Structure 1
Amino acid sequence: MHRRPRLIAVLLAVLAAAVAVLQPGPAAADGVVVGGHPARIDDSPWIVALASRARFGDARSGQFCAGVLVAPRKVVTVAHCLGRSVLGMPYRKVRDLRVIAGRGDLESSGGEEVPIRRAWVNPAYDAWTNEGDIAVITLARPVKTGKPIQLAEQADDPSYVSGRRALVYGWGDMAGDGSYASSLRAALVRVMPDASCGKAYPPGTPDGTYLPRTMLCAGVRAGGRDACQGDSGGPLVVGRRLVGLVSWGTGCGERGNPGVYTRIAGVARQVAEH
């Protein structure tokens, strides 16, 4: 998660200039779960990694974003993960783009790597406000080592009630300083009121605008637990239901700046249609 795609583009340019000789191509998108704890892939078999060794190198299996298995051949993630600001080129030109399922430790060879057959990236995604940050991936074959998660599709689902305990998962930045995780982690946060999120991210905020119809936010009032760079597209789960996808935010785990997620109830129709 985190950091707007436009900021990632600047970071990619700087990194490319600094390490081109050692590691050509862009660096990983947005980072690991801040303030989290180790998580077992067997307990969260619906989280998958998006990977490309050609673009991001062999370390950590080439992971750059995350996604969520919602059907044996369907993965949801966020639109900005498949954009030029992250990949450095159109996703269709990334020939080794893969979904990795059943691999909690990205330095291992466990699980399976499944090619992508096609992807739908929301054409209405607004990179300025971050509205409509959703993409749907169709896999070349069904995943064998993962298990789909149930979606919280209805706007009145109690999973969205403010104060509900939620878990955010990912392999991103663990401290907000570029220390990426190799093994899956999770952090306990709480769904926050729309009013608080709107106050944190009003119109004109450089990192985006909070729009409750298609977004929700979660965090800890004191800060310290959050998604971060590299977690984009990963799941926010209440109980055993998917309520959000890591999308954007200001900083990682900063007090007063909760993480913002694509609200599943706000994009359920697009997910079902694609």
Structure 2
Amino acid sequence: MPRSPRSLLIALAVPLAAALAIVLTAPAPATADRVVIGGHPARTVEAPWTVALASRALFGEKRSGQFCGGAVVGPTAVVTAAHCLSRGVLGKDWREVRDLKVIIGRNDLRKKDGVEYPPARVWVNPAYEGDNRAGDIAVLTLGVAVPAAYTIRMAGTGDQAYRPGERAAVYGWGDTEGDGTYASSLRTATVRVLADSVCESAYPGNAEGDYDPRSMVCAGLPDGGRDACQGDSGGPLVVRGRLVGLVSWGSGCAVAGRPGVYTRISSVADLVAAHG
């Protein structure tokens, strides 16, 4: 199954850019909450491009309504996983969700700091297929530009950041134990980019999934123990300061021999540019 938390909507309301610039300059304190499996507390000030997607109407007030993650890749462009906006995650068509927000600069979802933006426009990859999971990408366009410091560069085709063995970091507010224990504060886990052959062996097209190296990249540890999980979908996988993937799917969470699978950013960069 895709690592699905729950996901999206479009609305039109434009907060002031000045408010964003002021609020986002204040560092968010780290907390002692538990996290992303096998990870540790992170701070949004250290990963300002990491955002939360939220709908309080669907997912409640407790954690600001967070259900998925995302990453800011341009002044107004936020990327996330297409499956975050699926009926399976939201329980309804995403166009029916009326309070979708992109939350920027909020470390602890129980608080009110940072800025919440309703997207001015949403594009979900129409070619995304839930069964084979290729093309798991959606783009949310904000109605106001965010400061350049809150964006991350996408890794292109041939970037060394995709090289097997590279140290990577995955970020999110999702399940920290694999049992529905969700984090309130941002977490990060350090994993390694894995060779395509490792992922093809783990997911050869059986009931657990079909790994496609053209559109996916996988990361984890040989013995498991660190991974993204439910609630982290759409969140960033970062190598050398560049975005290489978005949390997409996997079999279980942090299970040995079952690495996490991510949307390969280089394979969808043109789509992001066209719709961002």
Please confirm whether the aligned pair reaches a TM-score higher than 0.5, indicating the same fold: yes
TM superposition shift of 1:144: 5.4
Higher helix share: 1
- Name the counterpart of 2:169: 167
TM superposition shift of 1:118: 1.4
- Name the counterpart of 2:260: 259
Could you tell me whether the CA contact under 8 Å between 1:129 and 1:208 is conserved in 2? yes
Distance 1:239 1:146, change over 3 A: same
- Name the counterpart of 1:230: 231
Structure 2 gap segments, 5+ residues each: 7-34
1:1-274 aligned at under 5 Å gives the runs 3-4=1-2, 33-143=36-146, 147-153=150-156, 155-203=157-205, 205-274=206-275
Q: Which amino acid aligns with 1:4?
A: P
Could you tell me whether the CA contact under 8 Å between 2:5 and 2:67 is conserved in 1? no
Distance in 2 between the 1:220 and 1:270 partners?
Answer: 30
TM superposition shift of 1:141: 2.1
SS of the residue corresponding to residue 273 of structure 2 reads helix
Distance in 2 between the 1:126 and 1:59 partners?
Answer: 32
Could you tell me whether the CA contact under 8 Å between 1:172 and 1:180 is conserved in 2? yes
Distance 1:95 1:144, change over 3 A: farther
Distance in 1 between the 2:127 and 2:258 partners?
Answer: 25
Deviations 1:118-161 (A, max 9, x none): 111011101111111000111122235960001102x2100000
Could you tell me whether the CA contact under 8 Å between 1:215 and 1:262 is conserved in 2? yes
TM superposition shift of 1:90: 1.4
Deviations 1:144-192 (A, max 9, x none): 5960001102x21000000000000000000101110000000000000
Distance in 1 between the 2:240 and 2:47 partners?
Answer: 11
Q: Which amino acid aligns with 1:58?
A: E
- Name the counterpart of 1:13: none
Q: Which amino acid aligns with 1:238?
A: V
Distance in 2 between the 1:110 and 1:89 partners?
Answer: 29
Distance in 2 between the 1:90 and 1:248 partners?
Answer: 21
SS of the residue corresponding to residue 83 of structure 2 reads helix
Identity %: 60
Deviations 1:168-220 (A, max 9, x none): 000000010111000000000000000000000011x2232100000000000
How many residues align? The count is 247
SS of the residue corresponding to residue 60 of structure 1 reads coil
Q: Which amino acid aligns with 1:245?
A: L
Distance in 2 between the 1:91 and 1:226 partners?
Answer: 27
Give the structure-1-normalised TM-score: 0.87
